[in-house]
Amino acid sequence: MRYLYTFLCALFFPILLAEANDKPRIIPQPSYVSVAGEGFFMFTDKTVFAVENEAQANLTQPFLELFTHAAGYTPKLKVDSKRGDVVFRSDASLSKESYRLEVFSKRMTISASDNRGFFYALQTVRQLLAPSLESPQKVEVGWTIPAMTITDNPRFSYRGLMIDVARYFLPKENLLRVIDCMAMLKLNKLHLHLTDDNGWRIEIKKYPLLTEVGSRRVERKDIPFPARKNARQGEPTVEKGFYTQDDIREIVAYASQRQIDVIPEIEMPAHSNAALAAYPLLACPSVDKFIGVLPGLGGNHADIVYCAGNDEVFTFLQHVLDEVMDLFPSHYIHLGGDEVNTSNWEQCPLCRCRMKQENIQNVADLQGYFMNRINTYVKSKGREMMGWDELTRSKLPEGSVIFGWRGKGLAGLDAARQGHSFVMTPAQVLYLIRYQGPQWFEPLTYFGNNTLKDVYDYEPTDKNWSSKDKKLLLGIQGSLWTEFCSSPKDVEYLLFPRLAALAESAWCTTTNKDWKLFLEALDSFNERMVLKDIQVAQSMYNIQHQVMPANEGLEVALECIRPDMEIRYTLDGSTPTVSSDRYDRKISIKKDVQVKASTFKNEKMMGKVLTIPIQFNKVTAKRLLRGKDNERLLMNGVRGSLKYTDGEWVGWERNDSINITFDLRQRISISSVQLGCMNNFGMAVHKPRTIEVWLSDDDRDYWKISQKDFEDEDIFKEDTSIEDIVLSVQDSARYVRIVVKGAGSCPLTHVRPGQESKVYLDEIIIK
Ligand code: ACM
Ligand code: ZN
């Protein structure tokens, strides 16, 4: 027997504890761990859990079921008993949600002061066991844990994930699986974004059209979300999905057993086209357009919002909220409040009358009135409201909790300065819709990158925060908007593994975070996810490149967010192997090459192969005069991809006069100047209205040598593509100036009518 113990110890000890510092490889990393004990605890078919009451029995059940599948037996559960192998003990001296786990060779005791604490102790035990515990089939593994003591408590009381089930309707079964993964990570709030312009996803008995009409929309699956045109009246609405009230009860109960509060969000007054498609009389009477559920951003239909002057709107929303509050026991109800386009309110006779009657001076305060009125109702039912940070533009509803989301989320802090609690979910770090890795390898989505490391490194507070600000910060939330999702796998891909990083940022203090240890734990966590058939992104193994002019040539910088990866590369076009050159400093390039690189660990290729074709032309690696640093990307010999945010494209804040001047270092003959232009209809990125090329020998006197002008029908193309525009130039010069004017406002037929179009260029090619 002793031999067996030693053997199993050797088998599992290395899996469970990191080599350097005896810390267990679990996520989130516990606050205090002591591995002073001897031996290990082994689960068998004889193991008995002794719990104090039915509530503890209920929260233990999902843990026992893991054994039923993976071990082929179910440990016994004794309620109201102190005799067992795993013993639960209430200990009022422990703080909320915290626990103490003491593992001895013959016994395990779990102490906590509340159900959450007991549940989290079990999640720790879950991750201390071999990953195959998540296997749906029986596996032959010893279910053992080394003797140790863990004392653990969370940094934040709000550890949240928002899922937008309106843009993409996530089926119930998939949502339940995500909830189980959240539970494993000790996340405790699921914010369900149930309604938006693109779908109403919850059955409301009093208003059946909300789902009959509002949960259906026209299909535009093959077109990226922002480029989708609105529905025509009568067009079949074939994309559909909503949760019945029974579904909601099941979701809430499943989450509750896993100690997760489900916070429903019913959006108002904007993001409400789905509701208004069902009940158009609730929109301002000034709206004279057909109201349909939007398949995309909506263009000039995004200004269709609930009328703030019509009392029927408030009656309707109160009835909706009555059913919502019956279904969701959550103390907090999220009422949206973001991105209100007030143009109809300004014209609507009812809204204007309301402003006059209530002595409201502007439409921002009309929104304040709207939210305050609903807040009063919610409070009268014993609940409290949450809302997005635009609510800080008017008087904040009493007691409301504000979600800081725009940019770095600092409007949340404005709310705190007015005495309100807040949650940080800054778009620039915690919006999980954004790219999680080098964009050349990622499926299409919006904006810039929020990598696993960005989420891991996120620290919501800074030294300028007062202790009062810090007290009002309830916690942090990852927000997954689903514009680009069209299957449950797409949702999982964006969530995992970043949800693990979010959990660590929400649970651990900064001093208890260790990126390298986290990655070791993540490898084990990801094994668990794979066994649960969760799609896990591998983006953390891919290489981000940057090629920039330097020292009269080009320099290639390669980076992987995982420090345990070796980067190896070739310059001869061959696929890199474990014996290729190891990247340890920027690579200097003086001629056309193809750089190929990948990441390796233990002789195994881990990432995708990055291929960077570099092609020199007469301006490559020459000098940019007076430009911004990133404009040097135009002369790096590398073309951009179809994603204009991939790091190869240069865009300008103002598009009315872009002026780029190159010094070719000597007077040379030039036959053409070529501009790589992005067209991305959905994002209003279009080629310029006018391009001029000017030459000079002294950078003082310039002569215009070529010009091209374009008309609307050529500019506002409805696709995503790259067009090379060539201006022929038969002359010689040392200095080349390119003057570009953007196309101005997008036409009314555009998905972004009236918006200023943007110019993006990836490369200037001078021949
Ligand atoms: C939001 O992203 N509009 C809250
Ligand atoms: Zn109105």
CATH code of residue 426: 3.20.20.80
Contacts of 577 (CB under 8 A, 6+ apart): 568, 605
Amino acid at position 713, single letter? E
Residue that finishes a domain, picked among 587, 614, 641: 614
The strand pairing partners of 162, in sequence order, are 191, 479
Query: Considering every ligand atom, which ligand is closest to the CA of 350?
Result: 2
Query: Considering every ligand atom, which ligand is closest to the CA of 271?
Result: 1
Q: d(Cα 504, Cα 185) in Å, to the nearest integer?
A: 8
What is the domain-level CATH number for residue 36?
Answer: 3.30.379.10
**Residue 11 pLDDT:** 46
388 ligand 1 Cβ < 6 A: yes
Domain-located, residue 738: yes
Same domain, 497 and 605: no
Question: Which letter does DSSP use for residue 570 in this model?
Answer: E
Kindly give the number of the ligand 1 atom that is closest to the alpha carbon of 389: 4
Same domain, 177 and 230: yes
**Residue 3 pLDDT:** 40
Domain-located, residue 425: yes
**Residue 1 pLDDT:** 38
Domain-located, residue 41: yes
Residues 731 and 669 sit within 8 Å (Cβ to Cβ): yes
Residue 78 tokens, joined = 């004794």
Domain count along the chain: 4
Question: Which letter does DSSP use for residue 198 in this model?
Answer: T
Dump strand ranges (E) for 459-562: 473-480, 544-550, 553-559
Domain-located, residue 60: yes
Same domain, 147 and 182: no
Query: If DSSP states are collapsed to H, E and C, what string results for 142-179?
Result: CCEEECEEEEECCCCCEEEEEEECCCCCCCHHHHHHHH
Same domain, 333 and 225: yes
CB atoms within 10 A of CB 554: 25
pTM of the entire predicted model: 0.96
600 ligand 1 Cβ < 6 A: no
Domain-located, residue 160: no
Which residue positions in the chain have pLDDT lower than 70? Answer: 1-21
Same domain, 43 and 104: yes
Question: Which letter does DSSP use for residue 243 in this model?
Answer: B
Residue that finishes a domain, picked among 566, 596, 614: 614
The strand pairing partners of 217, in sequence order, are 239
Domain-located, residue 159: no
Q: d(Cα 59, Cα 32) in Å, to the nearest integer?
A: 24
Same domain, 134 and 176: no
Residue 402 tokens, joined = 């504000």
Atom 1, ligand 1: residue with shortest CA distance: 338
Kindly give the number of the ligand 1 atom that is closest to the alpha carbon of 479: 2
Q: d(Cα 129, Cα 127) in Å, to the nearest integer?
A: 5
Ligand 1 centroid distance, CA of 266 (Å): 13
Domain coverage including residue 7: 2-152
Same domain, 523 and 574: no
Domain-located, residue 372: yes
339 ligand 1 Cβ < 6 A: yes
Ion ligand 2: residue ranges with CB closer than 5 A: 284, 307, 309, 348, 350-351
Domain-located, residue 371: yes
Same domain, 607 and 680: no
Same domain, 258 and 134: no
Q: d(Cα 585, Cα 356) in Å, to the nearest integer?
A: 67
**Residue 241 pLDDT:** 98
Same domain, 29 and 7: yes
Query: Considering every ligand atom, which ligand is closest to the CA of 404?
Result: 1
Residue that finishes a domain, picked among 119, 152, 185: 152
Atom 3, ligand 1: residue with shortest CA distance: 338
What is the domain-level CATH number for residue 586?
Answer: 2.60.40.10
**Residue 21 pLDDT:** 56
SS3 110: strand
Q: d(Cα 618, Cα 635) in Å, to the nearest integer?
A: 9
**Residue 330 pLDDT:** 98
**Residue 462 pLDDT:** 94
Same domain, 480 and 410: yes
Residue listed under structure tokens 């103490």: 100
Same domain, 480 and 500: yes
446 ligand 1 Cβ < 6 A: no
What is the domain-level CATH number for residue 678?
Answer: 2.60.120.260
